[in-house]
Amino acid sequence: MKIGIVLGSTRPGRLGDQVARWVHDRAARRGDAEFALIDLRDHPLPHLEAPPGFSGQYRDERTRAWAATVAACDGFVFVTPEYNHSVPGVLKNALDHVHVEWNTKAAGFVSYGGVGGARSVEQLRLVCGALQLADVAPQVTLPLATEFADRAVFEPGEHQLPALDLLLDHVVAWSTALATLRRGDAEAAIRQRLDAIVGGLRSKDLEALRRLYAPDVVSFDVEPPLQHVGVDAKLANWAKVFTFFEKVDYELRDLVIAVSGDLAVGHGFGRVSGTLKNGVVADGMWVRATFVFRHTGDGWVIVHDQASVPFDMATGRGMTELEP
């Protein structure tokens, strides 16, 4: 489990960093999850200029980086002040920027302000509903008058620690439970990506295929050299297939997919077949295929693949006649 502690204030002279550090220090002592401090100052997003769409694909580099940061987490603790009875604009903007990356995850709240930031959290809970973020009930509320010396130096009362622990217990438990649900969604998305490979090959559409690979993909394809590094090298390999085949088909069978966080592995058997340029129908050979996906600002993309046939030890020859 990876839980992001989102610091929702970027104001110069903010008090929020003291609170976020307190949350992070306490959380880091736990052994049940990894906790990462996510400071919105490190994600200077523009004001939302285009509808995010719910596709998980974004054109703006800053949005892609933000999407990857959110996607990498299984749950969140929002550390938020209250501005004019509501959520800081910078936090709302960050929430609005992406969508699927928040879905089916858990959220807890640590708030501070004149009246402890309670009204800000009430509004955040509504926003979380729209983002399919499940909000846990335990909450830490820190009034400036009682928890900050001179309303400036954070000195939380002892009773705040058990409240924080309870909040973290709930966020980790709910994040763990929801990860099971999300794995099903991720598997469906990855199967769609692999279907898109089949579609891209059948239509010989190299640009459609390009979208399925990470720019720095490392491919251990059946053909030499030992590795094809980068998406251009991978596409050159597919382009070579298109020079042999007039009509291309591709089958993938016995596909098994395992997902963990923002990484996924799939394995199965693949076969390129079709009609050669000279009109001969070629059945092709079955290869063992392995795919490693990473979830990025462009959705799930292949960062590594491997296609191979076993070899006969006696002759040293690849065995291309095997059937799954």
Ligand X SMILES: Cc1cc2nc3c(=O)[nH]c(=O)nc-3n(C[C@H](O)[C@H](O)[C@H](O)COP(=O)(O)O)c2cc1C
For ligand X, the binding residues (CB under 6 A) are 9, 11, 14-16, 81-85, 113-115
Residue closer to ligand X by CB (options 41, 288) is 41
At closest approach, how far in Å is the CB of 182 from ligand X?
31
Residue 111, H or E segment: strand 105-113
Euclidean distance between CA atoms 225 and 265, whole angstroms: 23
115 vs 241, beta carbon nearer ligand X: 115
Q: Name the residue nearer to ligand X (CB basis): 11 or 247.
A: 11
The torsion of the CA quartet 134, 54, 49, 131, rounded to 10 degrees, works out to -10
Cβ(186)–Cβ(259) under 8 Å?
yes
Nearer to ligand X, 151 or 247 (CB): 151
CB 18, min distance to ligand X, A: 9
Residue 83 or residue 220: which is nearer to ligand X going by CB?
83
User: Least distance in Å: CB of 105 to ligand X?
Assistant: 24
Beta bridge partners of residue 264, listed in sequence order:
259, 293
Q: Shortest gap between Cβ of 157 and ligand X (angstroms)?
A: 17
Please, what is the minimum distance in Å from the beta carbon of residue 94 to ligand X? 15
**How far from the centroid of its chain's Cα atoms is residue 61's Cα?**
15
Identity of the residue, 148 or 250, whose beta carbon is nearer to ligand X in the bound complex: 148
Q: Where are the alpha helices (DSSP H) in 203-266?
A: 206-210, 231-244
What is the nearest approach in angstroms of ligand X to the Cβ of residue 267? 48
Task: Return d(Cα 254, Cα 173) in angstroms, integer.
Answer: 33
The answer to whether residues 58 and 52 touch, using CB atoms and an 8 Å cutoff, is yes
Which of these, 190, 6, 185, 193, lies nearest to 104 by C-alpha position? Answer: 185
Q: How far apart are CA 160 and CA 40, in angstroms?
A: 24
**Choice between 16 and 268, CB closer to ligand X:** 16
Q: How far apart are CA 26 and CA 89, in angstroms?
A: 27
How would DSSP label each residue in 38-82?
EEGGG--PPPP-S---SSS--SSHHHHHHHHHHHT-SEEEEEEE-
CB of 268 to ligand X, least distance (A): 50
